[in-house]
Amino acid sequence: MTASPLQSFLPDFGSPGAETGEFAVSPIPAVNVASVPQRSPLRYPGGKTWLVPHIRAWLGRPAAAPAVLVEPFAGGAIVSLTAMMENLAKRSVMAELDRDVAAFWHAALREGAALGGLVERFEVSRENVIALSGENPRNVVEHGFRTLVLNRTRRGGILAPGASLARAGEAGKGVASRWYPRTIMDRLDAIAAVADRITFCETDGLKLLESLLSAGCEDVAVFVDPPYTAGGKRAGKRLYAHNEIDHPRLFRVLAESGVDFLMTYDRAPEVEAWVREYGFSAVQVVMKNTHHARVPELVISRRPVFSHVD
Ligand SMILES: C[S@@+](CC[C@H](N)C(=O)[O-])C[C@H]1O[C@@H](n2cnc3c(N)ncnc32)[C@H](O)[C@@H]1O
């Protein structure tokens, strides 16, 4: 692969070390999530609030703001919401396969006021949450609301089968410890204000990506945050009901399209090998997980993007 004229001026900040498989540490640290605006009403396991400064640096490069940002594994959709609210892209197309999470996005984007009304009226208690989880929603607003309540009252925001309700929670408040109706309603209002720029698709994100990119990728940027299951890693299996991803195909689609992308993964030998195989660039961002262990994540792109950031 030949280097672009611009690339030849840049230090090769994000490239993997050929011999050791080591990756440079990003010049931008993982941010404390309390220091950036929280845009998503969902409390998403694997959520990318900590990556927001990288997203701003990536999409905010001079002349980089794309016409369309594609987020094929939306989850809590922090990146699409941030990009729309901070005008880092003109439009966003996001996909999610989980039908409960998808119902939330359908409701938030099309019926935000009705969803906010349910939030305002809900009396949070262990009994009411258990009753709601056993109900069959009659429409998309009720379905999206059920997802939202379960997401904010289950331990770690986990919706996958087997997740349990929060017990002690913040200040011993149990299921109510993450249920802040006013804050959730404010976030829903902010989403409603940009909803006409967001297209949500309840579909397989990889298939969507393939079909969008086959139509050309001029003025498109893609943010990819798949369940971390490459190399037999288990985190993605525990956290999400949908977690089977054809990781090699995902790398191939990105490589062959030539599209501008940013992708996150945990470090697995397979992932590092694909980064090298396609000549991608990667930097490490060291995260603290909920057990305060330091876990490095990889932020992968076609070319180095963070080397110009102070
Ligand atoms: C790591 S999470 C994304 C988190 C998100 N970046 C955020 O900040 O909240 C991965 C998401 O991909 C979804 N997913 C899994 N397989 C999918 C597929 N084939 N197509 C679309 N979404 C999928 C999961 O349900 C999960 O919500």
pLDDT (tens digit, 9 = 90+) per residue, 21-71?
578 999 998 888 788 999 999 998 778 888 999 999 999 876 667 899 999
How far apart are the CA of 74 and the centre of ligand 1, in A? 5
pLDDT of residue 274: 95
Q: Which two tokens stand for residue 168?
A: 């002690």
How far apart are the CA of 234 and the centre of ligand 1, in A? 15
Nearest to 82 by CA among 225, 182, 244, 289: 225
Looking only at the bridges linking them, the beta strands covering 294-301 and 260-266 are antiparallel
Question: Is 187 within 8 Å of 40 (Cβ atoms)?
Answer: yes
pLDDT in tens, 126-178: 899 999 999 999 999 999 999 999 999 987 777 777 777 776 665 556 787 88
Q: Rounded to an integer, what distance in angstroms lies between the CA atom of residue 293 and that of residue 264? A: 19
Looking only at the bridges linking them, the beta strands covering 198-201 and 91-95 are parallel
Q: Whose CA is nearest to atom 27 of ligand 1?
A: 75
How far apart are the CA of 151 and the centre of ligand 1, in A? 14
Which pTM does this prediction carry? Answer: 0.88
Tell which phi-psi region holds residue 228, choosing left (phi > 0), alpha (psi between -120 and 50) or beta: beta
| Mutation probe of ligand 1 site: the residue of 97, 263, 265 with most atoms within 8 A of C-beta | 97
pLDDT of residue 188: 98
| pLDDT, the chain, mean | 86
Q: Which residues line ligand 1 (CB under 6 A)?
A: 44, 46-48, 72-73, 75-76, 78, 95-98, 101, 204-206, 225-227, 240, 242-243, 245
| Mutation probe of ligand 1 site: the residue of 240, 243, 247, 265 with most atoms within 8 A of C-beta | 240
Higher per-residue confidence, 201 vs 11: 201
Q: Is the pLDDT of residue 81 over 70?
A: yes
DSSP structure class, residue 197: G
Q: Rounded to an integer, what distance in angstroms lies between the CA atom of residue 174 and that of residue 177? A: 6
pLDDT in tens, 102-120: 999 999 999 999 999 999 9
How far apart are the CA of 243 and the centre of ligand 1, in A? 8
Q: Ligand 1 atom closest to Cα of 226?
A: 10
Q: Is the pLDDT of residue 15 over 80?
A: no
Question: Is 119 within 8 Å of 148 (Cβ atoms)?
Answer: yes
Q: Rounded to an integer, what distance in angstroms lies between the CA atom of residue 97 and that of residue 201? A: 8
Q: Whose CA is nearest to atom 12 of ligand 1?
A: 73
Q: Ligand 1 atom closest to Cα of 204?
A: 20
Q: Whose CA is nearest to atom 18 of ligand 1?
A: 204
pLDDT of residue 64: 67
Q: Is the pLDDT of residue 4 over 60?
A: no
pLDDT of residue 169: 60
Higher per-residue confidence, 10 vs 41: 41
Q: Rounded to an integer, what distance in angstroms lies between the CA atom of residue 152 and that of residue 119? A: 12
Per-residue pLDDT, averaged over 183-211, amounts to 98
pLDDT of residue 306: 86
pLDDT of residue 172: 59
